[in-house]
Chain A
Amino acid sequence: MSAIDTTFEELRSLGKTAFIPFITAGDPDLEFTGQVLAELEKCGANICELGIPYSDPIADGPVIQASYTRALNQRIKLNAILDNAQTWTAGLSTPLVTMVSYSIIHRQGLERYVAQAKHAGIAGAIVPDLLVEEAPQFAAICAREDFSLIQLVTPTTPHDRALRICETTSGFLYYVSVTGITGARQELPPEVVDQVSWLKSKTELPVCIGFGISQAAQVKMLSQVADGIIVGSAIVKRVASAAEIGKAAALENVRTFVQELVAEL
């Protein structure tokens, strides 16, 4: 069992929904990332997603793209991120997972990436550009190493394919709420609830919903069906406010916002 499995087991016994925030590693520097992670845990995050900056992200909207660009402009390297992550995870009780492009994993070598991430105390990976057809080799390594491979199902995924994706997924299943890229939406498609209910009737995996979520009311509504709620761009935007209002005030922004969402769970 990876740390993520343990977390969901505990939450299930309490009948609670996980809150899963996303931030970008090194935005605008690694020290601040460590501070934000600690703050997120204090505010009630159950798992944290750490975005590994990538030069050509296809699934990301302007807010997360810009955060990747800020980090890459600081020449933040993967080694430095993982070195720091080792320190962060030592001080955190919430599991950390990386959101990472397969371009980066491939470049490191699949075995090596998993070994390095595990060494840094990271519990799993979300690989947004790794389709189930291309996943078997990486999935086998993740399974052997008890490293969660969190795969995505989207509104365009047919049912039979969704079941196939579940077979090699571990940790949790990531249900993408919208047909599109990351970024806050005023409204989410009404089918989300039915889709997630269907998935939950078919798999033992926890099902978490992400993409587009930015409001307390959305969190409340989705927590009726989901095992976890993932919030990215809306938090990254508040982290980014550090450039204008300073880090302390940005951290305060993150805290207020996350507390407001967590209160709905």
Chain B
Amino acid sequence: MADISPSTSNVPNEAGRFGLFGGRYVPETLTKALNELTTAYTEAKQDSVFQNQLTELFNDFVGRPSPLYFAERLTAHCGGAEIWLKREDTNHTGAHKINNTLGQALLTMRMGKKRVIAETGAGQHGVATATACARFGLECVVYMGAEDIRRQAPNVFSMKLLGAEVRAVETGSRTLRDAINEAMREWMSSVENTHYIIGSVVGPHPFPLIVRDFQSIIGQEARQQSLERFDALPDLLIACVGGGSNAAGLFYPFIDDADVAMLGVEAGGRGSQPGDHASPLSYGEHGILHGSMSYVMQDEDGQTCDVHSISAGLDYPGVGPEHSYWKDSGRVEYTSCEDDDAMHAFDTLTQCEGILPALESSHAIAAAMQQACKLGPSKRIVVCLSGRGDKDSNEIARIKKEMATAAASNQ
């Protein structure tokens, strides 16, 4: 059911619509806070004091601009197009998530609120939120699925060190989706004095807009760096898509550049059967989840399906509404990458370049390696290396042991 009209960067509209997608499907209790947030953000966007404050934080606290790095040995290994990495892994706290949390922490203070809640999957958004809250003296509570607490133990410890309270979510699949449910429920009661810093381009309007804008620094820098480094725009952009914030941040500033192709990579998990993957853009339907209309993995009754990925940050049955808009308009192509291929890409990048990517980012690397072979050597790919892999080391050790045991028992 592709929308044949070309997509534009001039979205969303007043109602938070990206074409068919987005909008606001939440209990009435939250309307007042969402309207307040929309107003605060609209004003902040025009306010040079706010923008300068954010730029200063990006430069001196996060360490921006993040490098655009030519992965020379990986390029040679693949034997095709040049692979360039947009190094969000070099950011303070090790991922792109900090771009959004600093912006939203400033908005929190602008709205006169002193308390923040957040959800987290991989723990990167939780750490980034806890960091921003520590920096500004805001109280911070992070909801995290019990399964993810197990998978991402180092990040849980960091959040606590940073002074955040981590609340384990034991409902449902005990992953990111349930953490969002729980954070929204808490927000229903605390909305008068608490801001909810959502971690991706998902949720009710204005969250998908705000998070995209704060993450767009990735694409703005990549655009300028490309012109400086190779005097041209990239031929292809690639990013992994969980909720879709690092991808939206890289893609959005290039949306009106018709010659730049874009590829979003979802988690292909164990395969294409329902429950084995987390790829709503590849296998899902139009539906409503967590306050907006988008592609979602749901059954014929509209119940959200369980999903799977080795990476906690991609283990989500929904996706940001703007990605659904880009998909239906044909502006961005979406594919999915299975667990094993992501693991292989993790090993390859680590060994070729001395860079440990996050498991989430490894999905984008895997797709880049494939695309590099398809495209000729005269082409250039920019991949968002959304985060560093240190947080995954325990989980990777566990998976490798499992793989070794499985291999031994097959012999």
Q: How far is the CA of A58 from the CA of B184 in the complex (A)?
A: 6
B359 within 8 Å of A (CB atoms)? no
B257 within 8 Å of A (CB atoms)? no
B27 within 8 Å of A (CB atoms)? yes
A78 within 8 Å of B (CB atoms)? yes
- Residues of A contacting B285 in the complex (Cβ-Cβ under 8 angstroms): 107
- Residues of B contacting A156 in the complex (Cβ-Cβ under 8 angstroms): 28-33, 191-192
Contact A56 B290 (CB under 8 A): yes
Closest Cβ neighbor of B192 among chain A residues: A179
Q: How far is the CA of A154 from the CA of B300 in the complex (A)?
A: 32
- Please judge, given known A-B contacts A179-B192, A180-B188, whether A107 and B26 are in contact too, CB under 8 Å: no
B301 within 8 Å of A (CB atoms)? yes
Contact A179 B287 (CB under 8 A): no
A38 within 8 Å of B (CB atoms)? no
B16 CB to closest chain A CB (Å) equals 9
Q: How far is the CA of A69 from the CA of B301 in the complex (A)?
A: 15
- Residues of B contacting A157 in the complex (Cβ-Cβ under 8 angstroms): 28, 31-32
Neighbour of A129 across the interface among B25, B32, B177, B181, CB < 8 A: B25
Q: How far is the CA of A65 from the CA of B188 in the complex (A)?
A: 15
Contact A128 B301 (CB under 8 A): no
A63 within 8 Å of B (CB atoms)? no
**Residues of A in contact, count (CB < 8 Å):** 43
- Residues of A contacting B31 in the complex (Cβ-Cβ under 8 angstroms): 131, 156-157, 161
- CB proximity to A under 8 Å, residues B290-305: 290-291, 293, 298, 300-304
B357 within 8 Å of A (CB atoms)? no
- CB proximity to B under 8 Å, residues A141-182: 151-158, 161, 165, 176, 178-181
Neighbour of B28 across the interface among A101, A102, A107, A153, CB < 8 A: A153
A101 CB to closest chain B CB (Å) equals 7
Contact B172 A129 (CB under 8 A): no
A35 within 8 Å of B (CB atoms)? no
A75 CB to closest chain B CB (Å) equals 10
Contact A106 B287 (CB under 8 A): yes
Q: How far is the CA of A61 from the CA of B33 in the complex (A)?
A: 20
B24 within 8 Å of A (CB atoms)? yes
A221 within 8 Å of B (CB atoms)? no
B160 within 8 Å of A (CB atoms)? no
B289 within 8 Å of A (CB atoms)? yes
Closest Cβ neighbor of B204 among chain A residues: A131
B364 within 8 Å of A (CB atoms)? no
Contact B32 A72 (CB under 8 A): no
Neighbour of A104 across the interface among B23, B32, B184, B302, CB < 8 A: B302
- Residues of A contacting B298 in the complex (Cβ-Cβ under 8 angstroms): 103, 107
- Residues of A contacting B189 in the complex (Cβ-Cβ under 8 angstroms): 178-181
* Residues of B in contact with A, size category: 35 or more
Contact A58 B288 (CB under 8 A): no
- Residues of A contacting B32 in the complex (Cβ-Cβ under 8 angstroms): 156-158
Q: How far is the CA of A176 from the CA of B191 in the complex (A)?
A: 15
Central interface residue in B191, B291, B302, by most chain A CB within 10 Å: B302
- Residues of B contacting A256 in the complex (Cβ-Cβ under 8 angstroms): none
Q: How far is the CA of A27 from the CA of B332 in the complex (A)?
A: 44
Q: How far is the CA of A130 from the CA of B27 in the complex (A)?
A: 7
Interface of chain B, main secondary structure: mixed
- Residues of B contacting A101 in the complex (Cβ-Cβ under 8 angstroms): 288, 302
- Residues of A contacting B45 in the complex (Cβ-Cβ under 8 angstroms): none
B223 CB to closest chain A CB (Å) equals 35
Contact B27 A133 (CB under 8 A): no
Q: How far is the CA of A165 from the CA of B289 in the complex (A)?
A: 23
Contact A58 B185 (CB under 8 A): yes
B171 within 8 Å of A (CB atoms)? yes
Contact B287 A56 (CB under 8 A): no
Contact A69 B188 (CB under 8 A): no
Contact B303 A106 (CB under 8 A): no
- Please judge, given known A-B contacts A158-B32, A180-B29, A180-B188, whether A78 and B301 are in contact too, CB under 8 Å: yes
A135 CB to closest chain B CB (Å) equals 10
Contact A134 B24 (CB under 8 A): yes
Q: How far is the CA of A178 from the CA of B28 in the complex (A)?
A: 12
- Residues of A contacting B304 in the complex (Cβ-Cβ under 8 angstroms): 55-56, 103
A249 within 8 Å of B (CB atoms)? no
Neighbour of B23 across the interface among A134, A152, A155, CB < 8 A: A134
B82 CB to closest chain A CB (Å) equals 43
Neighbour of A176 across the interface among B28, B288, B289, B300, CB < 8 A: B28
Contact B188 A107 (CB under 8 A): no
A43 CB to closest chain B CB (Å) equals 29
- Please judge, given known A-B contacts A134-B23, A156-B31, whether A58 and B301 are in contact too, CB under 8 Å: no
Contact A72 B303 (CB under 8 A): yes
Contact A58 B188 (CB under 8 A): yes
A6 within 8 Å of B (CB atoms)? no
Closest Cβ neighbor of A58 among chain B residues: B184
Q: How far is the CA of A28 from the CA of B33 in the complex (A)?
A: 36
- Residues of B contacting A58 in the complex (Cβ-Cβ under 8 angstroms): 26-27, 181, 184-185, 188, 290-291
- Residues of A contacting B290 in the complex (Cβ-Cβ under 8 angstroms): 56, 58
Closest Cβ neighbor of B296 among chain A residues: A103
Contact B29 A179 (CB under 8 A): yes
Lowest 10 A-B CB distances belong to which pairs?
A107-B302, A180-B189, A104-B302, A156-B32, A103-B288, A55-B303, A59-B27, A55-B304, A154-B29, A103-B302
20 A-B pairs, CB-CB below 8 angstroms? Answer: A55-B304, A56-B172, A58-B181, A58-B185, A59-B188, A61-B185, A65-B171, A69-B171, A102-B25, A108-B301, A129-B27, A130-B25, A131-B31, A133-B24, A154-B29, A158-B32, A176-B28, A179-B188, A179-B189, A180-B188
Q: Which B residues are within 8 Å of any A CB, using their own CB?
A: 15, 23-33, 171-172, 177, 181, 184-185, 188-189, 191-192, 285, 287-291, 293, 298, 300-304
Q: Which A residues are within 8 Å of any B CB, using their own CB?
A: 54-61, 65, 69, 72, 77-78, 101-108, 128-134, 151-158, 161, 165, 176, 178-181
Contacts A104-B301, A180-B188, A181-B185 known; 7 new A-B pairs at CB < 8 A = A56-B181, A57-B181, A77-B301, A129-B25, A131-B28, A179-B29, A181-B189
